[in-house]
Amino acid sequence: MNAKKLISAVLSAFVIAVSSLSYTLPNTNADYSRVSVHDPSVVKLEEGGYFIIGSHLGAARSDDMMNWRSAANSNLGSTRTTFFRNIYSDLAVPEKWSNTTNGYNLAGNMWAPDIIYNKEMGKYCMYLSVNGQVWNSSIVLCTADKIEGPYSYQGTIVYSGFTNNAVNNVKDTDVPKVLGNSPDISRYLSNGSWNASYGTNAIDPAVFYDENGNLWMVYGSWFGGIYMLELDEKTGLRDYNVKYETIPNVSDAYMGKKAAGGNYVSGEGPYIEYMKAPNSDKGYYYLFVSYGFFNSNGGYNMRIFRSEKPDGPFVDQNGNRAIYPRGGDNIRGNIGERLMSNYQWSCNPKPFKAQGHNSALMDDDGKLYVVYHTKFDDNWGAHEVRVHQLIMNEDGWITAAPYEYSGETLSDDGHAMSAVIGDYDFIFHSLDQKFENEKSADVEKPHTITLNEDGTVTGHVTGTWLIKDGTPNMTISFGGVTYKGAFLVQSDESATQTKRMTFTATGNNTCVWGSKRSAYNAADDIVKPVEIPDGKYTLKNVNSGLYIADNNGNIVQSARQSWSIKSAGDGEYIITDSSEMALTVDNSSAIDGANVLLADFTGDKSQRFRLRDNHDGSYSFLTLASGGLRCLDVYEISTEDGANICQWEFWNGSGQQFILEEVKDVAGDINADGELSVADLVMMQSFLLGGTHLTDWKAGDLCKDDRIDTFDLCLLRQILIS
């Protein structure tokens, strides 16, 4: 691809300048810390948290997939990062192969690395592209004990650009080891130079373990296509015992098995991740490939294929193979599920453009993510890392959530009809979105549709829709295509991060998004009212382990205290203390931060709550004062004793989740509820008068010997008089 050669120097200069900077970008929300890492590849760390590495050794860490901070000193540039002690000496072998053109600098040609932890080796393995200007590239393995380095060169996996000439001679590669001495390399050559219409460029590696523990590498860019090689799990290098036949558009004895592309069509940044839906035994290997030119007006976009086997064949929703049997322009084509187009929600000050060169992750909790870089409408301008949750539909096809990830989770029991019907902003991610490279590119903007209660869709498109009972799964049909996906409550990307009902769905290789125009109201989204028996309970916060408690009339989190919870009808509850003072939102306020206190019982909306079952053993208490939009909240998710309880917008964070512990007075079990009761006093009296031998009562170190003695009596007396 001539364009790629011409702009590689420009890309190097640009990306190296902003490869891992932390700074304010056009779409920054106050609650997010952002970085710029081009071609981000994600790693779930053994010790917890997430790590991304990208071109020119940009890198960042995150604990939550939302807030990123620069890592490995990558903000200081590729020559000062901790990944290597000295890139020029540590990577002298691959640099020699690629440094054959005037003005070449290794610092600007370390492209799209991928890191994986090899348990058998006990090492972090970095697979790094060392780019050359005339396809004389290589992918090398470097290892380290720590993910941030320092890394040491271990060997080269694969070469491209080899010839029979004095420069980049095939004898300086491992080709003879694979093909034999004096190998026939005529198929890789055209007029004595590298035949780019057949051979790929040895860059953009992505390494993964399959479900049987075998190690694979997918790699390549444009030209001859995307290939796969099996690696040796013990060394992390190429497994030379695995042989490949040379069959056109199937495999090549040196480059490996063909996975995608070829015949000079676009396609780069391959990434393969095994993913499956939660609670499902059926998974697939998903191949992501970026089509187009990577500048903001180059039509760059992510495509998805899948296979039941790690090495393919990979197909799209319509059964099209990822391998191209002939040339052509595939950037706006209909092969491959297009994850998203250039787009702009009304809350985004600038369009998101040229999203691509992504990685993906199936996390330990089953959540799926896509991690990519996006650019804006300022050609060759800034870029930033974005993360969206991926949703797998009932057919096993994945589609991205409409807004970036903000901690949201799919509902376990679906959604109420009242929560999903209404007017939506609707984005259709066109397969053939128009662009003129380096000059202009179309942007999809939202239109209005309405999901009606009778199952019809009206507005910009007309058709039908439905939600499957007891699940978030939904379909929307129009124009002869049925799109399958799910509803998901998300925060939008406005400064206020308003919670909205959204949907994402895919069909015919096309994805569609919807975002409800009115704010999400959790009180409207109770599929089945939570019913608990009237009685005494303690309310323990999931995050702090402390309890909702009274502090001179103000409600805080502190020591264990019991409350009476009683039904007020219609799924609403009143919470009172032993003196029948009621938990109350001050002044019936509907705003964030409104204080919660004890007040005389009136039974009005300031004292009424609806319980939301979080399906993890915890509940959230939605306040009727806010119309159910807000709930009881530990201020700033504090773990401190005495932290204030207030009302805050419901987002299902741990500071809003409480475990209900039922309190019962059990005869003989003194102080079981944290309070001294009449039953406790009666039992103590019987023990004191009767000199009873105790076999079960061990609380407070009393009666360790199963007998009441003088020491025990003194302790009991202290309890009684206190």
Last residue of one domain, picked from the residues 208, 242, 260:
260
C-beta separation of 310 from 210 below 8 A: yes
- The string of pLDDT tens digits covering residues 44-97 is 998 899 999 999 999 999 999 999 999 999 999 999 999 999 999 999 999 999
Q: For 461-592, where are the E strands, in sequence order?
A: 463-467, 473-478, 481-491, 499-507, 510-516, 535-541, 547-551, 554-558, 563-569, 572-576, 581-585
Strand partners, 626: none
Tokens of 692: 């009873």
Strand partners, 179: none
65 belongs to a structural domain: yes
Is residue 444 annotated as part of the catalytic site, yes or no? Answer: no
* Nearest 10 degrees: Cα torsion 715, 716, 721, 722: 60
Give the CATH number for residue 45. 2.115.10.20
Tally of structural domains, the chain: 4
Mean pLDDT of 511-521: 96
672 belongs to a structural domain: no
Last residue of one domain, picked from the residues 520, 550, 569:
520
94 belongs to a structural domain: yes
Q: Are residues 614 and 704 in the same domain?
A: no
Q: Are residues 435 and 503 in the same domain?
A: yes
The one catalytic residue among 95, 148, 268, 712: 268
302 belongs to a structural domain: no
Q: Are residues 41 and 179 in the same domain?
A: yes
67 belongs to a structural domain: yes
Q: Are residues 133 and 4 in the same domain?
A: yes
* Nearest 10 degrees: Cα torsion 254, 256, 262, 267: -120
Going by C-alpha positions, the residue among 666, 648, 657, 674 that lies closest to residue 539 is 657
Q: Are residues 475 and 606 in the same domain?
A: no
pLDDT surpassing 60 at residue 673: no
- The string of pLDDT tens digits covering residues 436-488 is 988 899 999 999 999 999 999 999 999 999 999 999 999 999 999 999 999 99
174 belongs to a structural domain: yes
Q: Are residues 506 and 555 in the same domain?
A: no
Q: Are residues 695 and 621 in the same domain?
A: no
Q: Are residues 92 and 13 in the same domain?
A: yes
pLDDT of residue 25: 44
Give the CATH number for residue 451. 2.40.128.10
| Cα separation values, 585 from 352, 582, 645, Å | 41, 10, 10
Taking the C-alpha atoms of residue 57 and residue 72, their distance in angstroms, rounded to an integer, is 9
Taking the C-alpha atoms of residue 229 and residue 24, their distance in angstroms, rounded to an integer, is 40
pLDDT-based confidence at residue 699 (cuts at 50, 70, 90) = very low
Give the CATH number for residue 609. 2.80.10.50
112 belongs to a structural domain: yes
The one catalytic residue among 39, 148, 252, 649: 39
pLDDT surpassing 90 at residue 19: no
Domain hosting residue 498, numbered range: 417-520
377 belongs to a structural domain: no
Q: Are residues 647 and 684 in the same domain?
A: no
pLDDT surpassing 90 at residue 12: no
Dihedral of CA 702/703/708/711: which sign?
negative
Q: Are residues 105 and 138 in the same domain?
A: yes
Last residue of one domain, picked from the residues 497, 520, 543:
520
Q: Are residues 516 and 553 in the same domain?
A: no
Is residue 268 annotated as part of the catalytic site, yes or no? Answer: yes
Q: Are residues 217 and 248 in the same domain?
A: yes
